[in-house]
Amino acid sequence: MECRIKEAYSVFLFLDYDGTLTPIVERPDLAVLEDKTRDILRAISKVPGYRLCIISGRPLEDVKKLVGLDGICFVGNHGMEAECPDLKYVNPEALKCRDAIKEIHEKLLFETKEFKGVFVENKEISEALHYRMADEKDIPEIRKIFSRVVGPYLSSGKIRTAKNKKTLEVLPDINWNKGKMVLKLLEERAGGDVLAVYAGDDRTDEDAFKAIGKKGMSVLVSERPKKSNARYYMRDVNEMVRFLGLLKELKTKNANQ
């Protein structure tokens, strides 16, 4: 793995945020990037031969604020929006679903207001209901409420749902995902001989693992091995941070030789 990266002329590094750069926490706003990790990312972004992209299911502005770095690429809302120094993108089909997403958000807020530990997140072109902090006995009812609220919109064909780590999501029902966004960036922003490296921990990252295939290197971050399209495996965020430190040193040494 290290040899392939060291030998590559150019590396485009795609990193998921939650669960990859920061541990999964009870509320999304508590997932703060450690200074040590930010310093490594900043250093990588300045090393010749690397391009860096942070990719997330969070809204674009949210992940930009949390990472706090300039001159790199950011992808939000599971690939539906992106911003690089020379690019600003929002999927036009996803924008058509904003009104439906807003209605769902308001209904979920009202229907779940009596439950402690539930956080309803409006991401404009997607929606997430987080119940990690909810009482276990309430979870079946929370899921029923979600299904009841979202059901009529599903039948319209405009939206779809996804289940992640104690999160229920509402997404535009369009043929777009993290993998397609990664391929778009590789085609339009990388150019030439580039090695794609993608690391993530979530179901939504599987699309990206599959998209880069054998042409790149895919890394699943998970406490235990599980079925995945990824070709490599790391156990946790700490292992990922050590790997990033190694990547920095690999290309830095090459540049100084």
pLDDT digits (tens, 9 = 90+) for 96-112: 999 999 999 999 999 99
Q: CA triplet 123, 188, 214: central angle to 5 degrees?
A: 90
Q: 179-234, pLDDT tens digit by residue?
A: 999 999 998 877 667 999 999 999 999 999 999 998 899 999 999 888 999 999 99
Q: Give the per-residue pLDDT at 86.
A: 87
Which of the 8 DSSP states describes residue 187? I
CATH code matching the domain that covers 2-91+176-256, chosen among 3.20.20.70, 3.40.50.720, 3.40.710.10, 3.40.50.1000:
3.40.50.1000
Decide if domain 94-172 falls under CATH 3.30.70.1020.
yes
pLDDT of 27 reads 79
- Please tell me the distance from the alpha carbon of residue 89 to that of residue 80, in angstroms, as a whole number: 8
Summarised one tens digit per residue, pLDDT across range 59-86 is 999 999 999 999 999 999 999 999 999 8
Of all residues in the chain, the percent with pLDDT exceeding 70 is 95
The pLDDT assigned to 256 comes to 52
- Residues forming beta bridges with residue 1, ordered by sequence position: none
Burial of 221 (0-12, 13-18, 19+ CB in 10 A): buried
pLDDT of residue 8: 83
pLDDT at 177 over 60: yes
Q: What does pLDDT average to over the chain?
A: 92
pLDDT of residue 253: 56
Taking the domains of the chain in order of start, what are their residue ranges? 2-91+176-256, 94-172
The predicted model gives 148-164 an average pLDDT of 92
Q: What pLDDT shows up at residue 101?
A: 96
